[in-house]
Amino acid sequence: MSGTRSSSVCVLVLICLFPAGPLHATKLFAQKEEQIPHNQSKPPGPALTPQQAIQKMQVPDGFHVEVVASEPDIVNPVAMTFDERGRVWVTESLEYPRSSPGEGRDRVRILEDTNGDGRMDKFTVFADGLNIPSGIAVGYGGVWVANAPDLLFLQDTDGDDKADTSEVVVTGFGRFDTHELPNSLTWGPDGWLYGLNGVFNRSVVQDPVTGRTFDFTCALFRINPRTRQFELFAEGTSNPWGVAWNPSGEAFVSACVIDHLWHLTETGYYHRQGGPYPPFTWKAESIVSHKHQKAAYCGIHYFDSDAYPPEYRDRLMMGNIHGNCINVDVLQDRDSTYIVTPADDFLTANDVWFMPVVQKTGPDGCLWVLDWYDRYHCYQDARRDPEGIDRLKGRLYRVRYGDSPRAGRFDLSKESDEQLIRRLSSPNVLFRDLAQRLLSERATPESRRQLQSLVLEDQTQIRFRLHALWALIGGGPLDSSFHARLLTSSDPDLRAWGVRAAGNQHLEDAELIRQIIALQNDPHPRVRLQVAIAANKLDGVPTIPVMMNVLAQSGNDPLVPRIVWQNLHPLLEKHSNEFSRAVARIGQNNSVITELLPRAADRILSVEKPDTRTVARFVDLLLRQPGAEDAGKRCLRLLAERIQSGEIRGAVRDEVSQAIRSSVLQAATHDTDHPLALAAVELGAALGIDSLPDLAAELASAAEDSVTRASMVNALISGGDARSFDLAVALLDQAATPADARRAVQMLGRLDTDRASSVLLDRLPRLSGEVQPAVVETLTDRVDSSRQLLKQIAAKQMSPSVINANQARKMLQLGNDELNQLLKDHWGIVRSDRDPGRARLISQMRNLARTQQGDPVAGQAVFKRVCGQCHRIYGEGAEVGPDITRNGRASFEQLLSNMFDPSLVIGAAYQASTVLTTDGRIVTGLVAEDSPQRIVLKVQGDKQEVIARRDIDEVVRSPLSLMPEGLEKQITPSEMADLLAFVTLDRPPQHPDAAPLPGVRLETAESMDATKFNQLSQQLLPTLQVQKSGERGVALIENHRGRPAVRIHPVSRREAGVLAGTFTIPSTKKPVLLISVASHEQGDWQLQVRVNGKTIHESLIVRNPDSSPWQDLELSLADYSGQQVRIELLNSANDWSNEFSYWNNVEVLPE
């Protein structure tokens, strides 16, 4: 599914809506006029009937689409699964986007085909009273439902298909972001129940077995159905929705915004869309290098069935909601992981309402697709207009090849163990999965003996043997003699699963553990990888030596080093000596081990009393070993960074200096073009080693490379060298590029002296717009420099616009009364919450983008100067906030909201955090790391501010985005037009195929055809319908007297032209209706505004108002707060001469 925040991207609402009773004949709400949803360029138009929908779908030759079920029998379906009778269990939701927990109106429904015609004809409500049930699985005597904050286990105790008991298995799942709730409950090969959670939905779940508490966001979690043990399997990605297992039992998930496909391995931590990583994380990456259309994925399935020709089997099929299609990728082995190549789309709906939320193989072997079917794909639309969600529709399709046979009726629960074992060789993966689960549940001694025999049959296909093995693993501990034979199997998947089972079941058999230790040298990387993971779980395994041996054999494997590190690095706090001995034994000439040493040194130094001698050995090894120069340089720089941040200080600093002194001095004697020399000088200068500060000062003045000069000055600052001030000022004054100047500003900020502040204040007016924000950010860190900056503004030496809203808030947090008064007098009132008036500005910017043709190339330069301090686009800019190449620009409306109202919808990962230090400094940014040792903030200008935990007085989380409001105050109107011209293109302006984002350009036209009135008007006025218009019908005009406009006309002298719409008025004290209207250059007209038939406003819209041809009216709706109302806007004749009315904006705001 999709997601972002502060610059947030359109994130999918995979959760929808309806009542506990039937929906067949009732309408839940008054019909809402169509709006333009995110990621769409115009209103989606009317919904298609199920039959119309399948007629528009495109599938490969020989295939066709059938309707299995549809409204009114299912509505707003979210999740589905099959039971052992082939029945479909579907969750439906009416409560989205409700974030509060508690009883709701949602339900679980059972669908049955009783006559075998392929169409569901029996529908039973199994459970209701739920609140966004986002995942479902059947097994182990009941039904498992994700119903945040709980994961429920529901049981039918009397066989009437009604839930009679409800158990809360675990609780603590978040509801902050209800499109990223726990989802995709899926039985794993090991018999555990797996599920997903999203990046902006923090959850805190306690394992009922061990008592351990898991605090997490984006993750693949699992639950043991027998013991109820809860644990995290892997973490990372974005808002993943859908888990698939390939024939080897490896997990794959689809995700939104970031790359769309991920291979998740136990204990791995993968790239995440936003928010901090745990300290010392070495993230794993996706397995794709391509993109399909758009970026909103929901559901994933590994298709494995003989109902389709071979070329369509063994593929990953993924629902693409924005693309309204089913994408396909094909897996290929790559060492211990995979890469994928794209294949042709399997289904294209040609219908923007199509929302494929789940894909599964059905009992007939066909792909079944659950379709939420709604006009709104994105959470922004649901939050803005929850009544606009269509609550009456939902479909379940099958994609059938030719006249492939129907499944017929069956009930696997009544089959014998022998019959179920035969099912394990079914060509349809659904039957293999169902039989496997049932055999695990029964786990009879005889069936386990038969399963063991099947696993060991070398002539049987490996995928069938694996299902037999998984049935055994899910049923309990493996027999020792069988387990021993499994570990010596000729098939690597069987060996790998033998190791995996031993770790998960915490094996204690000494002989089997010796076999597992021996497999650290297995020829297959997936076996070795499982050995490394199990080494942390099994007593009797020499954990660190085994992990290091596995690592040493990994070569260019992209996954093994990251998984090993995630398991290894916590051990370094107490076992650094053992690690050092393993390095000495195998690492001298092993490039993989060498590359790990900088991370290991950094990790060892993070503890309160680090093993400095081990670190010194690593430094010496890296500085002396041929071919290790890059790793050596990284190690020296990591040490220097910890010294500069204050994390290494006092006695530990002295120990480090003494331990590495000789190695650093020797490296520093190389020529300066040697890879290690400069890093050694930098570290030596920071530590004050011998003459290295003098050498650093010389390089800070004379080096040709500005980056080298800056690093040397930074080192001298860390060492307390008196020369550092003059050198930093020289760097600022001699800066050749904005990046050079920003580095110098940061150094002067580190010096924290009145002299440094005076220099920055003096240079500020003369610096470029790309550098000024960094200066202001530094000056506003402290009371004295903030006071001086405001005094300059008071003296008209600087514009107040140099201070953004976040910097103003930061000054308030310094808690100085004089400073607060200066800020109020010379900058303005600082809001502590979001400004609801931003919607008015968005309307202005919408008009500007559509009427003033800016220069996108010039806009690229504006972006680099103003926005590039925090955002990347097309590979350029800083990585503080989201990369907006693909984030936050799904449509014109989404872009405007993110640019000018950044705190409207914001995830926790993009909320600003402010750190107050013990010496009175204040730093604001996004948390990149939060550990017992330090906090790392990403701040404006692509800088990371590292603050030692011991230097922190307080950390405050803001409810607002780090991106400040007020972009319009920082640049001129002409620059704004250029910027909008740039960011509203879907490619760089130099690209020959660059085109405007959906919704930017209006499809202007004039029509007398009443059936086309709304098609024109709703491009600009999406909440309204044209009820009546007379002369010349309706026109959509690109520029009428400075703004785009919809034009209508009275029907006659006595009958008005009418625009009308149904609105839900916000439950606030002062809701208002904004109306922007104008007249013809040679005419005027009467405006009348009615709410529920009552006139609340009348005025004459004249041809020549004093100030502007446009009148922007603001009408109170306080009497209708919280109500749903019908608003009519009448264009009545005045003197029957050019009575045309022109409408630019009609909008309801909370205040």
Q: Which residues are 1146's β-sheet partners?
A: 1075
Q: Which residues are 109's β-sheet partners?
A: 90, 125
- The amino acid sitting at 37 is P
Cα gap 239→197, rounded to integer Å: 7
Chain position carrying tokens 């898991």: 214
- The amino acid sitting at 59 is V
- State the SS3 of 299-319: EEEEECCCCCCHHHCCEEEEE
Give kind and range of the element (H or E) at residue 194. strand 193-197
pLDDT for the residue numbered 863: 87
pLDDT for the residue numbered 8: 33
- State the SS3 of 218-230: CEEEEECCCCCCE
- Whole-prediction pTM value? 0.80
Strand 1005-1007 and strand 911-917: the pairing is unpaired
| CB-side neighbour CA atoms (13 Å) of 408 | 4
Among the four given CATH numbers 1.20.1250.20, 1.10.10.60, 2.30.31.70, 2.60.120.260, the one describing domain 1005-1149: 2.60.120.260
Cα gap 797→1145, rounded to integer Å: 39
Chain-centroid distance of CA 429 in Å reads 31
Complete DSSP assignment for 398-435: EEEETTPPP-----GGGS-HHHHHHHTT-SSHHHHHHH
Starting at the earlier edge strand, list the strands of the sheet with 367-371.
63-70, 395-401, 367-371, 356-361
Contact (Cβ atoms closer than 8 angstroms) between residue 268 and residue 566: yes
Cα gap 292→515, rounded to integer Å: 44
Where are the domains positioned within the chain? 50-401, 412-475, 780-825, 838-983, 1005-1149
Tokens of 733: 């004054």
Q: From residue 237, how far is each of 76, 313, 1120 by CA, in Å?
A: 26, 27, 43
Close Cβ partners of 130 (under 8 Å, ≥ 6 residues apart): 91, 93, 104, 106, 107, 108, 145, 147
Tokens of 305: 């069935």
Complete DSSP assignment for 889-914: -SSHHHHHHHHH-TTSS--GGGEEEE
Contact (Cβ atoms closer than 8 angstroms) between residue 193 and residue 225: yes
Cα gap 1053→281, rounded to integer Å: 73
Close Cβ partners of 349 (under 8 Å, ≥ 6 residues apart): 53, 56, 57, 324, 325
Chain-centroid distance of CA 549 in Å reads 35
Q: Which residues are 1128's β-sheet partners?
A: 1060, 1090
| DSSP state at residue 1045 | E
Closest by Cα among 701, 707, 704 to 723: 701
Q: What angle do CA 256, 261, 263 make, to 5 degrees?
A: 130
Residue range 838-983, CATH number? 2.30.30.100
Q: How many CB atoms lie within 10 A of CB 112?
A: 17
- Phi, psi for residue 223 in degrees, rounded to 5: -135, 135
Chain-centroid distance of CA 853 in Å reads 33
Cα gap 347→325, rounded to integer Å: 5
**pLDDT, tens only, 286-320:** 999 999 987 789 999 999 999 999 999 999 999 99
Tokens of 452: 């063991």
Tokens of 1096: 């609340």
Complete DSSP assignment for 1046-1082: EEE--SSSSS-EEEEEEEE--SSSS-EEEEEEEE-TT
pLDDT for the residue numbered 933: 82
Q: Which residues are 1060's β-sheet partners?
A: 1025, 1128
Angle between helices 612-624 and 576-586 (to 10 degrees): 20
Cα gap 449→1040, rounded to integer Å: 82
Give kind and range of the element (H or E) at residue 105. none
Cα gap 299→368, rounded to integer Å: 12
Cα gap 314→183, rounded to integer Å: 24
Angle between helices 650-668 and 612-624 (to 10 degrees): 10
Burial track 633-656 (b if 16+ CB lie within 10 A, e otherwise): bbbbbbbbbbbbbbbbeeebbebb
**3 state DSSP class of 109:** strand
Starting at the earlier edge strand, list the strands of the sheet with 142-147.
135-139, 142-147, 150-155, 165-171
- Phi, psi for residue 945 in degrees, rounded to 5: -100, 115
Chain position carrying tokens 């680090």: 610
Residue ranges of alpha helices (H) inside 838-951 are 838-851, 856-862, 892-900
Burial track 597-631 (b if 16+ CB lie within 10 A, e otherwise): bbbbbbbbbbeeebbbebbbbbbbbbbebeebbeb
pLDDT for the residue numbered 28: 29
Cα gap 251→248, rounded to integer Å: 9
**Ranges of residues in the chain whose predicted pLDDT is under 70:** 1-44, 376-391, 587-588, 831-834, 836, 886-888, 890-891, 904-908, 941-942, 1104-1107
Burial track 23-46 (b if 16+ CB lie within 10 A, e otherwise): beeeebeeebbbbbbbbbbbbbee
pLDDT for the residue numbered 382: 54
Q: From residue 179, how far is each of 2, 198, 649 by CA, in Å?
A: 9, 8, 45
- The amino acid sitting at 844 is Q
**pLDDT, tens only, 119-142:** 999 999 999 999 999 999 999 999
Q: How many CB atoms lie within 10 A of CB 186?
A: 24
Contact (Cβ atoms closer than 8 angstroms) between residue 245 and residue 269: no
Cα gap 420→852, rounded to integer Å: 70
Chain position carrying tokens 């800066």: 735
- Phi, psi for residue 512 in degrees, rounded to 5: -65, -35
Residue range 50-401, CATH number? 2.120.10.30
Q: Which residues are 1087's β-sheet partners?
A: 1099, 1131
Contact (Cβ atoms closer than 8 angstroms) between residue 190 and residue 501: yes
pLDDT for the residue numbered 27: 30
pLDDT for the residue numbered 498: 98
